[in-house]
Amino acid sequence: MRRLKKNIYIGLFCATVGVLLIIKAARGPAGMNERGPAVTEDSVQAKSHSMSLDNNAAKAVKSRRSTDSIPHPIYSVPSYDECFPDLQDVQIASAQRLGVSPVRDRKEAENRKKELVYVGMNPYYVIDKGMSSSIPYLIPRAAVLLNDIAHNFVDSLYVKGIPLHKVIVTSVLRTEHDVANLRKKNPNASEQSCHRHGTTFDICYNRYHTVALPGETRREVRNDTLKWILSEVLRDQRDMGRCHIKHEVKQSCFHITVK
């Protein structure tokens, strides 16, 4: 009798377990209930993502993610002198056509805000601290060009896996007073400088401003490497017909006039 009760108990236990397994199988995987799958943040995001992207778009996103992790190569340009040959006669023609009439001094420049844009502060470039023969003003067209060049340079560094740097602007608008003082120090300085019209700026290629957090340790980057990348950016802008560029050897800068 006792053995019979034990067999009945075991039978009922097995039957109960079997019923529970059947119910669980009918409801689906873990996390499911009568109302459907358990709602989690991941499941909501996944559903939203699937609704907003079709199969082709999803493949494109996956491809973009895989290529973004691979730094783009650095090509530079075949020859600085051949790619950036625009001499004074070419640049001055655009400067006189698009720029302002020569500015007498700094005070007059500040009073001509309708014609000139202050470019002394920007997140993508810095004005050289030692700049004494010009002031940070440009016509709007040239200011946009300078911003685009500096922005594209930072973008290029990012996609190529190079630690971030900003370009340094060494010369911008020169007043008549600036030109006179400069010619006293350097008789070879042009009296008909393109810088007098607010259309022209110089970006040095042998110095760059390092972008780093306080105490951050970064790997060193050669100035030649940064110059190669800058030259790629400048060539693109020149090829688009946005500017004239001269590779200045003595001044170690790219002399750029907007078109």
Half-sphere exposure of 197 (CA within 13 A, CB side): 22
What is the DSSP pairing of strand 125-127 with strand 165-171? parallel
CB 166 within 8 Å of CB 201: no
What CATH number does the domain located at 80-258 have? 3.30.1380
Residue 182, helix vs strand vs coil = helix
The tokens describing 238, both together, are: 């020149």
Cβ within 8 Å of residue 95, ≥6 positions away: 194, 196, 197, 199, 200, 257
pLDDT(3) > 80: no
In this prediction, residue 89 carries a pLDDT of: 94
Tokens 């996390």 map to which residue?
A: 31
Say what percent of the chain tops pLDDT 70. 72
- Per-residue buried b or exposed e for 125-156, using 16+ beta carbons within 10 Å of the residue's own CB: bbbbeebebbbbbbbebbbebbbbbbebbbeb
Percent of the chain with pLDDT over 90: 53
For residue range 182-198, list pLDDT tens digits in order. Answer: 877 776 677 789 999 99
Phi, psi of 97 (to 5 degrees): -75, -40
The answer to whether 212 and 177 have CB atoms below 8 angstroms apart is no
CB-CB contact of 126 with 133 (8 Å): no
pLDDT in tens, 45-100: 333 333 333 344 334 434 443 445 577 888 889 899 999 999 999 999 999 999 99
Give the rounded distance of the alpha carbon of 147 from its chain centre: 10
Q: pTM, whole model, 2 decimals? A: 0.71
DSSP secondary structure of 121-157: --SSEEE-TT--S-BSEE-HHHHHHHHHHHHHHHHHH
Tell me, what's the pLDDT at 11? 54
Q: Which of 43-47, 104-108, 121-125, 215-219 has the lowest mean pLDDT?
A: 43-47
Contact criterion met (CB below 8 Å) for 202 and 254: yes
Give residue 27's pLDDT band: very low, low, confident or very high (50, 70, 90): very low
Residue-averaged pLDDT of the chain: 79
Return the pLDDT at 12. Answer: 55
Domain ranges of the chain: 2-68, 80-258
* pLDDT value of residue 32: 35
- Classify the C-alpha dihedral 200-205-209-212 as positive or negative: positive
φ, ψ (nearest 5 deg) of residue 34: -60, -30
Which residues is 137 bridged to in the sheet? Answer: 118
DSSP assigned state of 194: G
pLDDT at 17 over 60: no
**pLDDT value at 131 more than 60:** yes
pLDDT tens per residue across span 203-245: 999 999 999 878 777 778 999 999 999 999 999 999 999 999 9
Task: Report the DSSP pairing between strands 243-248 and 165-171.
Answer: unpaired
Q: What is the pLDDT of residues 146-157, one digit of tens each?
A: 999 999 999 999
Q: What is the dihedral of CA 220, 224, 225, 228, to 10 degrees?
A: 160
